[in-house]
Amino acid sequence: MTGSSRYEHRVAVTGIGIVSPLGIGLERFWEAIVAGTIATKTLTRFDASSYSARVAAQVDDFEPADFMTPRRVRWTERFAQFSVAATRLALEDARFTPKPDDDDVGIWIGSALGGVAFGEEQHDKFRAGGIRAIRPLLAIAVFGGTATTNVALEFGLRGPNVANANSCAAGSVAIGEAFRAIAGGEVRAAVAGGVEAPLSPLVFGAFAIIRSMSTRNGEPGRASRPFDRDRDGFVMAEGAGMFVLERYDDAVARGARIYGEICGFGLSGDAHHMTAPLPDGSGTARAMRAALRDARVLPDEIELIDAHGSSSPLNDATEARAIASAFGERGARVPVVATKGQHGHALGATGAWEAAITLLAMERRTIPGLPNLDVRDPALDVNVARKNRRSEARLALSNSTGFGGINAALVLRAAGA
C-alpha cells in the first residue's frame, strides 16, 4: 500500500443482504453468478406487448411476510419491503443486533426512482375510482426516504438517516457516504446499499421510449451483453442490496466474519447531458482517481475492476475509455468483471450487488465470467472473459455511473490484505 489511511477508523463489511432476480440471500446470488445463470426473461409483470423493449429481470419468489410482521406488510409497498428484507438478511449475516433505539448506527440507502411505481399504480386507481379508491399508504410511500425510514422503524435505528436519488450510482453513493461517516467517527456502524422496484407500465415505458433498453425480445436471456460487439441497451431489473458496515476494530473484537473493507470513495459529475456520458470518459475517470486518492492507493495496485457495464453502446465505450485514462496502459490488462448480463440493471440497487460480487470475487478467488460475451467489441480494450477466471486479487475498484452524469467509485480491500 502507498500509505496509511487518512481516516480515524478502518471500515469492515460484515454483512451482506441480497434480494435479486438471481435469488434471495447472498449465497444463492453468488452461486447463480458463478454458475452463469441468467435472470433476464420476457417481462410478465404487466402487458408490455406494445413496447419496443419487453425484457426484464424480475424477482418472482419474494414474500414480504417472510421478513416483516403482517402490520408492516400492510403499511409498506414493494420498494420499502425490499429495503427491510435486504437489511434483515444483512444484519442476520453479520450477526449484528442493534441495541434498542440505537443512535450510533446510521442508514444510507440509494434509489433512482423510490416509490414512483407504486405512485403510478395508485394514480390509475384514482383515475378509475376517485380519491377514495387510493390507499392511505400513498402519502408515505412515494418518496425515496421511505426505504431508510422503514428500516429505521423496523430495527429501531436512530442514527443518521440518509436517502439519495443519484440515479444508477445511488447504491454506490450510499455505501461510500456510510463508509466516510464510520471512518470519520460520526457513527460506529451503518446499514448501507441500494433498492429499486421500477417494473411498472409507465416507468418501464419511459425508459423504452428513449431507446435506452435492449430490444432483443426474441432472445431475452441474451439481451444484456456488457462490452459485447452486439450490445444494444440495458435490461431493467428490480431488487435490493444492503451492507452492514462497522468499525474494523469493533468487528474484530466481537469475532465477526469480515468480507473485506471499504477504503476509498470517489464522486464526480459530467455536467454534459442527461442521458449520455461524456464521450471521452473523463468524468468517470475522475471518480475513479478520486476513490484511489481517498484510499491512498496507486492505480498500479488495483488488481480487479468491477465495471458498471450497462450493455449500452455509449456507456460501455465511455467506461472503457475511462479505465484507460485512470489506469494507463495497464488498464487493458487488469481483469474486469461485469455481471449485468446475468442479473440485469436494477438502477440504484445494482452498485450494491456489484460491490458484493467484487468482495466475494476476492474472498473466493474467482472472477465471474460474462456468459453473453460472444465477441468483445474490438474498439473496447478491456480485459473481460466469457468464462470464470482464477484470481489472487486483493484490492479492487467498483465503478457506477448514472443518468445526469453522476459517477461513483469504491475501492475495496480483501479481508486480511
Asked if 304 and 221 sit in the same domain, the reply is no
Domain boundary among 228, 253, 278: 253
| Segment 133-156 mean pLDDT | 92
Q: Which residue, among 182, 145, 179, has the nearest Cα to 165 in the 3D structure?
A: 145
Note whether 80 and 207 are same-domain residues.
yes
Co-location of 268 and 233 in the same domain: no
Q: Are strands 389-390 and 366-367 parallel, antiparallel or unpaired?
A: antiparallel
237 plus 271 within the same structural domain? no
- Supply angle C-alpha 412, 416, 417, rounded to 5: 55
pLDDT at 367 over 80: yes
Q: What is the dihedral of CA 232, 236, 237, 238, to 10 degrees?
A: 160
Q: Which amino acid, one-letter code, is at 223?
A: A
169 within 8 A of 402, measured Cβ to Cβ: yes
* In a domain? residue 3: no
Q: 317 lies in a domain?
A: yes
In a domain, 112, yes or no: yes
Residues 245 and 290 in one domain: no
- What pLDDT score was predicted for residue 5? 65
* pLDDT at res. 4: 55
Q: Are 347 and 232 in a shared domain? A: no
CB within 8 A of 107, min separation 6: which ones?
148, 151, 152, 157, 159, 160, 161, 162, 190, 191, 192
| Span 61-95, pLDDT tens digits | 999 999 999 999 999 999 999 999 999 999 999 99
Does 128 share its domain with 155?
yes
Residue 249 lies in a domain: yes
414 or 416, which is more confident: 414
Say how far apart CA 101 and CA 123 lie, in whole Å: 36
With respect to residue 259, please indicate whether it lies within any of the assigned structural domains.
no
- Interstrand relation of 23-24 and 11-20 (parallel, antiparallel or unpaired): antiparallel
Place of cell 458484493: 356
Could you give the percent of the chain with pLDDT greater than 70?
A: 99
- pLDDT score, position 217: 98
Across 202-221, b (16+ Cβ under 10 Å) vs e yields ebbbebbeeebbbebbeebb
The mean pLDDT of 375-396, rounded to a whole number, is: 97
83 and 227, same domain (yes or no): yes
Report the alpha-carbon distance of residue 78 to residue 118 in Å, rounded: 8
Instruction: Provide the annotated active-site residues.
Output: 168, 308, 345
Q: Where is 343: in which H helix or E strand?
A: helix 340-343
8 Å CB contact between 120 and 202: yes
**Count of structural domains within the chain:** 2
Transcribe 143-157 into DSSP letters.
STTHHHHHHHHHHTB
Q: Are residues 237 and 308 in the same domain?
A: no
Which value, to the nearest 10 degrees, does the dihedral of the CA atoms of residues 407, 373, 238, 269 take?
A: 10
CA 169 to chain centre: 8
* Domain C-terminal end among 253, 272, 307: 253
On whether residue 6 sits in a domain, the answer given is no
Q: What is the pLDDT of residues 322-331, one digit of tens each?
A: 999 999 999 9
- Residue 2's pLDDT band, with cuts at 50, 70 and 90, is low
Question: Is residue 277 very low, low, confident or very high in pLDDT (cuts 50, 70, 90)?
Answer: confident
User: What is the pLDDT at residue 278?
Assistant: 87
Q: Do 341 and 388 fall into the same domain?
A: yes
Per-residue pLDDT band at 379 (split at 50, 70, 90): very high
Stretch 298-311: mean pLDDT:
98
Residue 269 lies in a domain: yes
Residues 278 and 410 in one domain: yes
Model confidence, pTM: 0.97
Picking from 205, 234, 253, the residue at the C-terminal end of a domain is 253
- Beta strand pairing call for 55-57 and 236-237: parallel
Do 288 and 242 lie in a common domain?
no
Angle, CA of 285, 289 and 292, to the nearest 5°: 140
> Could you give the 3-state DSSP secondary structure of residue 328?
helix
Calculate what percentage of the chain has a pLDDT beyond 90: 93
Q: Is residue 258 part of a domain?
A: no
Q: What CATH number did the domain enclosing 399 receive?
A: 3.40.47.10
Domain around 390:
264-414
Q: How confident is the model at residue 276 (pLDDT cuts 50, 70, 90)?
A: confident
Confidence of residue 162 (pLDDT cuts 50, 70, 90): very high
The mean per-residue pLDDT over the stretch 109-125 comes to 94
